[in-house]
Structure 1
Amino acid sequence: MSSDPWGRVDDAGTVYVRTAEGEKVVGSWQAGSPDEALAYFERKYDGLVVEIDLLERRVRTTDLAAKDAEAAIAHLREQVDAHHAVGDLDALRTRLDQLTEGVEKRREERKARKVQQAEEARRAKEELVAEAEELAGSEQWRAAGERLRALVDTWKGLPRLDRKSDDELWHRFSHARSAFSKRRKAHFAQLDAQREEARQRKEKLVTEAEALSGSRDWGPTAAKYRELMQEWKAAGRAQREHEDDLWARFRGAQDIFFQARGEVFAERDSEQRENLARKEELAAEAEKLLPITDLKAARSAFRTLNERWDAIGHVPRDARPKVEGRMHAVERAVQEAEEAEWRRSNPEARARAEGLTGQLQDAVDKLRDQIDKARAAGNTAKVAKLERELEGRQALLDQAQKGLQEFGG
């Protein structure tokens, strides 16, 4: 008989293994010595140890499914429970129990992680739906459209929820996208209609502009072009493929007119600058008549200058006030000299002036006499009143005497 700490072989060749529950028959060995029998079944034990080691490593380091791990554990447990090996079978059972607990713990962790991932996916999809519903009312057509497409890609990358929840959220998400697409389509349909209306209106404006391009009625035609430009701006934009062509025709018609007008105006401006030089020379000649000492000669000379002035055409508008002002100043001087001469030579006017001056002088003298009497009588109130009246009459007298001097008196 032979034995070791975990098993023995009896005289009949029966092999036993020691367990916590007592000895268990492993098998019968008739082919060799007891030591060879124990060695054989010890190798069986070592094989079980290796398989358990490998399973433990797979469970620890890979994503082995729980059901596959449990099946492998059950298979090994059957072999251990069959007692066809010599060794510490109770230790192997303990390891298998621990492995079972580890697999169960891993299953629970995976389950919890799956629940957490599902909740995260739900929140993510609810956020996508909320953003999509907000974008459904946007009028930033390009940016909102691109964002909605990005949301779809994000949605596709998220895990599915339970069917009911996933379908409900997808329905809201899809409805928001459809609502936006419908509004965008309606917007651009309306925009197309507006652009077509703008194209038709601008076609008419181009026709009017081209019809005016040959006009030589400069002022009214230029004003009409300004009106057409305002209408053009108010008409809005036509389709891109028409807008540039219409504008080129519209602008081209204006250019034809304004180029012709510019050439005419350039010629006219040159002529007006020459007229200005001639009028400045006449104004300088007229200013030499001042101051007027010989009214008759000055009047004759100014009349001749004025006739030459009238014979000259227009001058540039911005220069007109200055040069005409110089001529008008000389004309006013001649007129004032004529008026002064007329007053000096008009006996009736002189008589009226003398009469008025005499009346005012008498009134002043009378008031002074009254003031002297009132002062002598000590009537200060009357003196003050008469002095105020005297002040007014004296002013009139001074003015009348100045007028009388103009007659040489």
Structure 2
Amino acid sequence: MSSDPWGRVDETGTVYVRTADGEREVGSWQAGSPDEALAYFQRKYDGLVVEIGLLERRVRTTDLSSKDATAAIDHLRSTVTGAHAVGDLAALEARLDKLVGQVEERREKRKAERAKAGDEARTAKEQLVTEAEQLAESEQWRVAGERLRSLVDTWKGLPRLDRKSDDELWHRFSHARSVFSKRRKAHFASLDAQRDDARRVKEKLAVEAESLASSTEWAATAARYRELMADWKAAGRAQRESEDELWNRFRGAQDVFFAARSEVFAERDAEQGANLAVKEGLAAEAEKLLPISDLKSARAAFRSLNERWEAVGHVPRDARPQVEGRMHAVERALQDAEESEWRRTNPEARARAEGLTGALRAAVDKLSAQIETARSAGNTARADKLTRELEGRQALLDQALKGLEEFGG
């Protein structure tokens, strides 16, 4: 007879395992010694230990489902309960009981995780629906469209909820996309209509612009082109291909007109520049008549100069006041000389003579200061020009002072 803490072999070769409920026969052994019999049935026990260890590892380290884990535990438990093995079967039962607790704990954990994931998915989908409904009213067509497509991809990556909730949220989400698509389609249809209207308006503008390209009514036509440009801008944009083609026609017609006008104006400017040089020469000759010593000859000379002056054409507008002012100044000096006799006895005339003298003296002082400033700045041309003007003003001042002396001043 042979035994150990968990089993024994009797004299007949029958093998027993000891449990909390007493001994249980697990087999018989006739082929060898009792120790060999115990060793054989202990190896069967070790096999159960290995199987339970493997299941523990699977539960701990893999994603074995709770259902499969429970089935495996039940299978091993039935195996342990009727096992033909010698060892601490109660310890194996305890390990299986513990494993049941671990599986249940994991089941509850996974249930909580699924619930949390479901809540997170619900929240995420509700947020997607809210954003989609906001985008449905947007007029940022490209940006909003791209964002809605991105939201669809995000939706597909989220877990499904219960059918009712998922269907309700998807219906709202899909409806928002449909609303946006319909609004965008209507917008671009309206935009196409507007662009077609703009094309028709711009075609008319281009035709009129082309009809004006050869006009020589420079001021009126330039004004009309400005009106046409304002109408062009107010018409809005046509389709790109039409817009470019019509703009080239419209702008090309304007370029033809303004190029022709520029050429004419350039010729006119050259002619007026030559006229200015002639009139400046005549003004210089007139200023040489001052101060007036022989009124009769001065009057005749000025009349001749004035006839030549009238025969000369226009001068540039910005130069006209200055050159005409010089001639008018000589003319005024002649008039003053003619009136000097009767002015001599006229107090009002004396006052006017004094006023003219003061104004001419101020003009002479101002020109002198301007000449000094121009020379200091190195602007010799301006200084020379101002000097010529000063000579004329000084002659007028001398004449005015002479006239003033006639009043006994």
With normalisation by structure 2, the TM-score equals 0.83
Partner of 1:309: 309
Residues 211-232 of structure 1: CA deviation (Å, up to 9, x unaligned)? 1111122121111111111111
> Partner of 2:8: helix, strand, or coil?
strand
In the other structure, the counterpart of 1:104 is 104
Provide the rounded CA distance (Å) in 1 between the counterparts of 2:197 and 2:46. 93
Output the CA distance in 1 between the equivalents of 2:341 and 2:253: 63
Matches within 5 A, 1:188-267: 188-267=188-267
Distance (whole Å) between structure 2 residues aligned to residue 161 and residue 35 of structure 1: 63
Aligned to 2:165: 165
Q: Which residue of 2 aligns with 1:271?
A: 271
> Does the aligned pair in 2 maintain the 1:210–1:253 contact within 8 Å?
yes
Q: Which AA in structure 1 matches 2:121?
A: A
In the alignment, is the contact (CA less than 8 A) between 1:25 and 1:83 conserved in 2?
A: no
Counterpart amino acid of residue 78 in structure 1: S
Q: What is the Cα deviation at residue 18 of structure 1?
A: 0.6
Q: Is the contact made by 1:17 and 1:83 (CA closer than 8 Å) also made in structure 2?
A: no
How far the C-alpha of 1:407 sits from its partner, in A, is 8.2
Equivalent residue letter for 2:275? N
AA at the equivalent of 1:163: R
* CA displacement, residues 83-140 of structure 1 (integer Å, 9 cap, x when unaligned): 3110000000000000110011000000000000000111111111111111111111
Q: Are 1:41 and 1:84, in contact at CA under 8 Å, matched by a contact in 2?
A: yes
1:303 CA drift (Å): 1.1
Distance 1:262 1:149 in 2: 57
How far apart in 2 are the matches of 1:196 and 1:132?
32
CA distance in 1, matches of 2:192, 2:24: 94
2: distance between equivalents of 1:214 and 1:15?
A: 128
* Structure 1 residues without counterparts, runs of 5 or longer: 354-404
Backbone CA RMSD of aligned residues: 2.1
After the TM superposition, which of the residue ranges 7-16 and 120-129 deviates more from structure 2?
A: 7-16
**Mapping for residues 136-151 of structure 1, pairs under 5 Å:** 136-151=136-151
CA contact (8 A) 1:121 1:159 kept: yes
Partners of 2:182 and 2:112 in 1: how far apart?
42
User: Using the alignment, how far apart are the partners of 1:180 and 1:338 within structure 2?
Assistant: 92
Residues 11-35 of structure 1, C-alpha deviations (whole Å, 9 max, x = no match): 2322110111211111233343322
TM-score by length of 1: 0.83
Aligned length: 354
Counterpart Cα distance in 1 of 2:320 and 2:301 = 22
Aligned residue type for 1:172: R
Distance 1:295 1:131 in 2: 98
Question: What is the distance in 2 between the residues matched to 1:213 and 1:228?
Answer: 13
Query: More displaced, 152-161 or 330-339?
Result: 330-339
* Alpha carbons of structure 1 residues 316 and 36: separation in structure 2 relative to 1, 3 Å: same
- 1:144-165 CA deviation, whole Å, 9 max, x = no partner? 1111111111111110111111
- SS of the aligned residue for 2:119 comes to helix
Amino acid corresponding to residue 308 of structure 2 in structure 1: R
What is the one-letter code of the residue matched to 1:314? H
Q: CA deviation at 1:406?
A: 7.0
Which has more radius of gyration?
1
Which amino acid is the alignment partner of residue 290 of structure 2? L
Q: For 1:1-400, list aligned pairs within 5 A.
A: 1-341=1-341
DSSP-derived class of the 1:23 partner: strand
What is the SS of the residue equivalent to 1:110?
helix
CA contact under 8 A between 1:128 and 1:151: conserved in structure 2? yes
CA distance in 2, matches of 1:91, 1:149: 60
For residues 298-353 of structure 1, the C-alpha deviation after alignment (integer angstroms, 9 at most, x for no partner) is: 21111111111110011111111111111111122222222334556xxxx98xx9
> What is the letter of the counterpart of residue 271 of structure 2?
E
CA distance in 2, matches of 1:67, 1:343: 135
Q: Pick closer, same or farther for the CA change 1:83–1:343 going to 2, 3 Å.
A: closer
> Does the 8 Å contact 1:280/1:323 carry over to 2?
yes
1-structure distance, mates of 2:308, 2:156: 95
Q: Which runs of 5+ in 2 are unaligned?
A: 350-404
Distance, in Å, in 1 between the alignment partners of 2:123 and 2:92 is: 46
Residues 276-299 of structure 1, C-alpha deviations (whole Å, 9 max, x = no match): 000000111111122223222221
